[in-house]
Amino acid sequence: MNDRLSTRIFGLIYAHRQPKNPDTTLIRNSAGLQLPTDFDGAPASQYLIDDAEFAKRQKTLQAVCLSCHSLSWVKGHWQRLEHTIETTNAATRTATDIMRDIWKKGYASGLERGASPFDESIEKKWSAIWLFDANNSRFASAMAGGGDYGVYAEGRFPLSTRVAELNEWLIRQRKKD
């Protein structure tokens, strides 16, 4: 699979290019964390595949799709997938910016206070946004999945709902100050 997949769409905060090395413990973002992106979505590019490898892998996977589908279908599918990656990364960035405000205001501990950014209740709500909702949307799109799953049941609707809930939580906290 590693020879075909150009984008890593699961498990981490942002979808990003695949790592160069299967030993992902070597990856460090600009904050020194073992993540392939910063919290703002900027990639740790030195650890990720370059443009040429990215294009090669896309072409290889598209060739698999072309064994059953027309060129126009494959191009359309790829455009939808890329759009889904862009929109889910943007929603994740919005949620992460809200979470950064939460940490900055001291409503949760986070990295700046030497704590885990994933252990408090509100941090778990933030994590669910990208770990479940964004990833489910990407998966449904990558597999040419149905609109109900990718949009409603486990996708974009819950994604946007959780982002709004995270923001509403922050607003309620500010009102308490």
pTM for the whole thing?
0.91
Q: What is the pLDDT of residue 20?
A: 93
Query: In angstroms, rounded to a whole number, what is the distance separating the alpha carbons of residues 92 and 95?
Result: 5
Q: What Cα–Cα distance (Å) separates residue 108 from each residue in 12, 23, 48, 78, 79?
A: 21, 32, 31, 39, 38
Which of 82-91, 139-148, 153-162 ranks highest by mean pLDDT? 82-91
Q: What is the pLDDT of residue 177?
A: 87
78-106: average pLDDT: 96
95-115: average pLDDT: 95
37, burial (CB in 10 Å: exposed 0-12, middle 13-18, buried 19+): buried
The confidence band for 144, taking pLDDT boundaries of 50, 70 and 90, is: confident
116-126: average pLDDT: 95
**Which of 10-14, 71-75, 98-102 has the least mean pLDDT?**
10-14
Beta strand 16-17 pairing with 7-8: antiparallel
pLDDT (tens digit per residue) in 15-42: 999 999 989 999 999 999 999 999 999 9
Q: What is the pLDDT of residue 145?
A: 66
